[in-house]
Amino acid sequence: MTPFVVFIILSAALLHAVWNAIVKTAADRTTTLGLVALGHVIPGVIMVMILPLPELESLGYVALSTLIHFGYFYMLGQAYNHGDLSVVYPIARGIVPALVALWAMFFADEFLPLQAWGGIALIALGILLSSWKALKSGVGGVALLYALGTGLCISFYSTVDGLGVRLSGNTLSYWAWGAVAHIFVTAAIGLRRRRVLRLIPLRSWVIGITGGFVSMTAYGLVLFAKNFAPLGAVSALRETSVIFAALIGFLVLKEGNWMRRLGAAMVMALGVALIGLSV
């Protein structure tokens, strides 16, 4: 994997952490997620008006990814109803790199070298280490089930989009149509929260939609990278967003445990290096 591709994926991870921090600090996370989805739709509509259509066979992947996203939002919401963010999030994200690497073996004939698998393991370890204290306190069976379901959905849509963008013939077009498809997520959350929409201050609208712009940019970078690197390796590097989020929590949100966060960052950095040098 070239240094440029590694840089692209790590940039996407940082942007992913930024928009997650926006959601984390929001008073109404459900409504903010709807606004984040709307932040995908607005630039997506503009892009599909000026870009050529992707190859028709790739549009089926856009539709499938959108359906999986509904499962993802449901699983994530239920996980947070039964467990804390600091427990659910690292479990959900920690299982994704290995799962995507497995799906890529089955559906894309991509076989990673042993060194890359070692890097994936280190990144997963770093994710868990970053929230070790919360994890050690225990997680209920229902919360664990939904957290694992969330991670499974993430691995599914990551694989589907990785395959779809390679068939699209135009990464930007696939990215744009995937963004427009977020209208269904926006509509579902809007209907659910319709009674409070008029009470949302303008500042919250701006912050939520800006978070969507950041999120869309982050995923566009990931889609670009999937054209040039194995899906499992891209997914593993992308999950460094967890440690970026942890560092933002310490530096910006003044959360504690800096020694554990730094240790987790060093473990994940070693994992990134192993992957980058092996594929």
Among candidate residues 141, 171, 144, the one with its CA nearest the CA of residue 62 = 171
Quote the pLDDT of residue 41: 94
CA pair distance 238, 211, nearest whole angstrom = 18
Quote the pLDDT of residue 235: 81
Reading the block at residue 28, the tokens are 């109404």
Longest CA pairwise span in the chain (Å): 54
First to last CA, the chain: 5
Cβ atoms 139, 87 nearer than 8 A: yes
CA pair distance 223, 161, nearest whole angstrom = 7
Amino acid at 224: F
The residue assigned the tokens 């992947």 is: 61
pTM (two decimals): 0.80
Quote the pLDDT of residue 153: 93
What CA–CA distances, in Å, run from 21 to 64, 69, 247? 28, 20, 11
Backbone angles phi, psi at 27, to 5 degrees: -70, -35
Among candidate residues 13, 20, 24, the one with its CA nearest the CA of residue 239 = 13
What CA–CA distances, in Å, run from 70 to 65, 86, 181, 216, 227? 9, 22, 11, 17, 25
Contacts of 145 (CB under 8 A, 6+ apart): none
CA pair distance 3, 15, nearest whole angstrom = 18
Cβ atoms 69, 185 nearer than 8 A: yes
Quote the pLDDT of residue 139: 60
Decide: helix, strand or coil at residue 144: helix
Quote the pLDDT of residue 143: 77
Quote the pLDDT of residue 198: 78
The residue assigned the tokens 């060194």 is: 115
The residue assigned the tokens 């959108």 is: 66
CA pair distance 268, 136, nearest whole angstrom = 20
What CA–CA distances, in Å, run from 268 to 72, 184, 185, 216? 25, 35, 32, 24
Which segments in the chain show pLDDT lower than 70? 20, 23-27, 80, 83-87, 89, 130-140, 245-247, 249-250, 252-258, 260-262, 276-279
